[in-house]
Structure 1
């Protein structure tokens, strides 16, 4: 039944009362009006069920709901459609609401289903069908996807992940180490405003920020698998660093300046010295640092310093840090959230004043302890399979996106997890390169295992 514009809902049928009313009308011959009055059921509903009971030839009436008489797809067909939508999302080619409605119409046409006239007119399923479909399948939801580059989708495959874990396991087997993770993130003076209470009917609602484009301050952080973090390093977009730039920042943090606001070889070397002063690694008590392959991380000066101080560097495969980097997985996200909240509160307390780079350290000082908690840090190492060590942490479906390219893998894997899912035999588009009745966005996608 279509949703009522006035918000009215059809009254639910009391199956017990309806059963008694049908039995008395058929077996005892009481009048319809009397049965309606006595059991409080709808007259038209009672007439329909009495007629159905007589036509069935059954000895005893049994109530069964009949609210899906106009449902286009069967339960199995909807399950097949659901499976396809989940697979498309895991391939990083998920469908929008409009595309799902078009796909449903094409699916119905391929199955020669009887569709509402509006479907045939618009060549897509209706909005109400999609709403009810999503309601029936709770494992589906409307989400805003994260932008994932083709390089990341390609690089995160079973071969590269297996190679990294083999290298990491080899290093761990040499002795007892403390696992550390170092990474950078950018903090801007223009924050993202939170949701606010506003009047209805207004199409555009504004919230005060410092400007249209902000200045970037780089934060370099280090955490370990036990849930600890050392004070960060802040790199300001200036030629010369001044101590007052760190006013209100996290206790023990250090600062530096670079006109671009980003890290470089010299600044990262300075942070490694800061790291060594805090962690105190040595040849007898070495430590492992997990980090990406940024140019500033693999300079000769840094490598020599790490060798002399008992620091072993283990780098992630390029374009896989979004899965392996603990800071990216569970720490930097909350940091940005708490930082934006602190910026919003600052703007309320300082009307008509913009946030400058001289205020960033203080705002980070409020957000840092809330984001760099032992629980968040430990969770980051766990979900990446780094600590506790779990080389099977990533499921097969997480590698599916690497198949949606024409780029071959580095080497052939004999693992059964590299096998593609079988083609669909129910009329839905296949996730392989085989020709199908319907394809994502009316185009086929090829896979090369």
Structure 2
């Protein structure tokens, strides 16, 4: 059994030597101070003279204290930036550091340190560990802490406005997840001892299946929507399944706006009770952003809160906890039934396995999805972006000057690295290693390739529902939607055109709204150039935002408006031709209605 090793400081040895000067024996000093007898004996013989610290494990350090501290800080910095170092990377940096120092070393300068040295290095620094990395898209890695803080600020104000800080029964999260035959069983298997790596084939599912599901912070699960690719299973697949479950089909097996609206109206709304308002948190999938979905939520007392783009892996309860646990249950149950290897899981059995897997997940698993993301109980410090926190370093880092903004520093044309190593200015890396431990290079624009004009919603936003005080009985002829002035102030995304909804389901513009007048003025100017609209009530039908930094294009038939930059290139060409020839231009909605 290994001995209990512990690093000793210089003060501890000075304290032990004071007992020796008083005539106490070495053995008694060892028992009195807790320092092993052999260690005290070695120090008295001068074995550790010149070492800093005076006592450490293993042979003499090949790296100085400053070099090792800089390397540890660099490992932490790269890890939180989404660029963690591997064993080979660590060995390469160590060799570069040793070569630059010019001192003698026991390392092989061609192959680098041994694996045994790396293991001892990791053991010495307890805050480091080897873990398997997971792929992360670059756009997700670039989510900033400011975007996350803005989301939590908006979430907090929305929960307080709706009086939901202590009511988890009216907080829901909705999302889609696919099942396409990539499920792996997680239970341990029995194999002969000589087999080093036991393998198990994946669970195969014919076609693609999409699950549209919502969960509440109280552990409730409304009926889901299961979408099959191609066609529904031929045999009976709904026996034993609750009648409230919905089953649909599409050619690809993916969800679309019509199916989402069918689930929202026929499964979600009937299962959330009558108490309003209800908060539904969801991502920026195109099916969630249609005007029909937003209007249906507003008319039924459901407030919609959208994450910022590319942040669902951090903020969405279903993605963070629930879907992982659910897919593991589905895979384990499929393996238990023998559907793995060459035996494909029949699609008719999938709903039954899915239902049993959902039943095996307790309400605690569902509610923990919200606590892990800081929604309920509310905790704005629950999630952190992939940004470096200098205070977490072993060394005391220095603040960076205002003029050292990473976006303003000049990058090298050949390698993309910054000419001024910001890590040195932050105090994370010593100046001697500035050319070795460099910050990650910036992404460069290749040639004359233009950047994508695809718009992303970089901030969270909320679409408030009808205020309960303004909702009258269902027998009345009209229900008036409150204007934007009555909505939450300061929240982006609430700029929806004020409408009046009649009993027959038709919609007409409110007489009090001045949007029509402003649109007519803008359309007159559009005949000569693209319009600039200063009306906060106008939303782009493509990105569903009111960004005033882009030019607007209005349909000559209906009242739809769209950002010129949000249109495809071929449609932009049609708009330019209409401006030149004075011919009318119609939006995609009007064109499809004619067909």
Identify the residue that residue 94 of structure 2 maps to in structure 1: 104
- Match status 1:219 vs 2:211: yes
Identify the residue that residue 261 of structure 2 maps to in structure 1: 269
Distance 1:370 1:291 in 2: 25
Distance 2:341 2:383 in 1: 48
CA gap of 1:152–1:404, structure 2 versus 1, over 3 A, is farther
After superposition, the C-alpha distances for 1:132-173 in whole angstroms (9 at most, x for unaligned) are 11122222111122211111122x213322332343334334
Structure 1, unaligned runs of 5 or more:
1-8, 14-22, 24-44, 59-63, 409-418, 430-435
After superposition, the C-alpha distances for 1:72-91 in whole angstroms (9 at most, x for unaligned) are 13456434322221221100
Count of residue correspondences: 377
Contact 2:141/2:386 (<8 A) preserved = no
SS in 2 for 1:338: helix
1:84 pairs with one of 74, 92, 109:
74
Question: Larger helix proportion, structure 1 or 2?
Answer: 1
Greater shift in the superposed pair: 192-201 or 223-232: 192-201
After superposition, the C-alpha distances for 1:224-267 in whole angstroms (9 at most, x for unaligned) are 12222223221111335778333455784322222211111111
Identify the residue that residue 299 of structure 2 maps to in structure 1: 308
Distance 1:445 1:68 in 2: 36
Identify the residue that residue 155 of structure 2 maps to in structure 1: 168
Identify the residue that residue 124 of structure 2 maps to in structure 1: 136
CA gap of 1:159–1:425, structure 2 versus 1, over 3 A, is closer
SS in 1 for 2:211: strand
Q: CA deviation at 1:316?
A: 0.8
Q: Superposition pairs for residues 16-165 of structure 1, below 5 Å?
A: 53=44, 67-74=57-64, 77-118=67-108, 120-122=109-111, 124-154=112-142, 156-165=143-152
- Match status 1:424 vs 2:467: no
Structure 2, unaligned runs of 5 or more:
6-19, 21-36, 165-169, 390-403, 410-421, 444-595
SS in 2 for 1:184: strand
Contact 2:322/2:366 (<8 A) preserved = yes
CA gap of 1:166–1:439, structure 2 versus 1, over 3 A, is same
Greater shift in the superposed pair: 291-300 or 184-193: 184-193
CA gap of 1:221–1:81, structure 2 versus 1, over 3 A, is same
TM-score, normalised on structure 1? 0.71
SS in 1 for 2:281: strand
Distance 2:334 2:93 in 1: 44
Identify the residue that residue 42 of structure 1 maps to in structure 2: none
Distance 1:96 1:159 in 2: 29
Q: Which has the higher contact order (CA 8 A, sep 6+)?
A: 1
Aligned-pair Cα RMSD in Å: 4.1
Contact 1:292/1:315 (<8 A) preserved = yes
Distance 2:309 2:4 in 1: 58
TM-score, normalised on structure 2? 0.55
Distance 1:83 1:354 in 2: 49
Contact 1:250/1:361 (<8 A) preserved = no
- Match status 1:244 vs 2:236: yes
SS in 2 for 1:246: coil
Identify the residue that residue 382 of structure 1 maps to in structure 2: 371
Identify the residue that residue 296 of structure 1 maps to in structure 2: 287
Contact 1:81/1:428 (<8 A) preserved = no
- Match status 1:325 vs 2:321: no
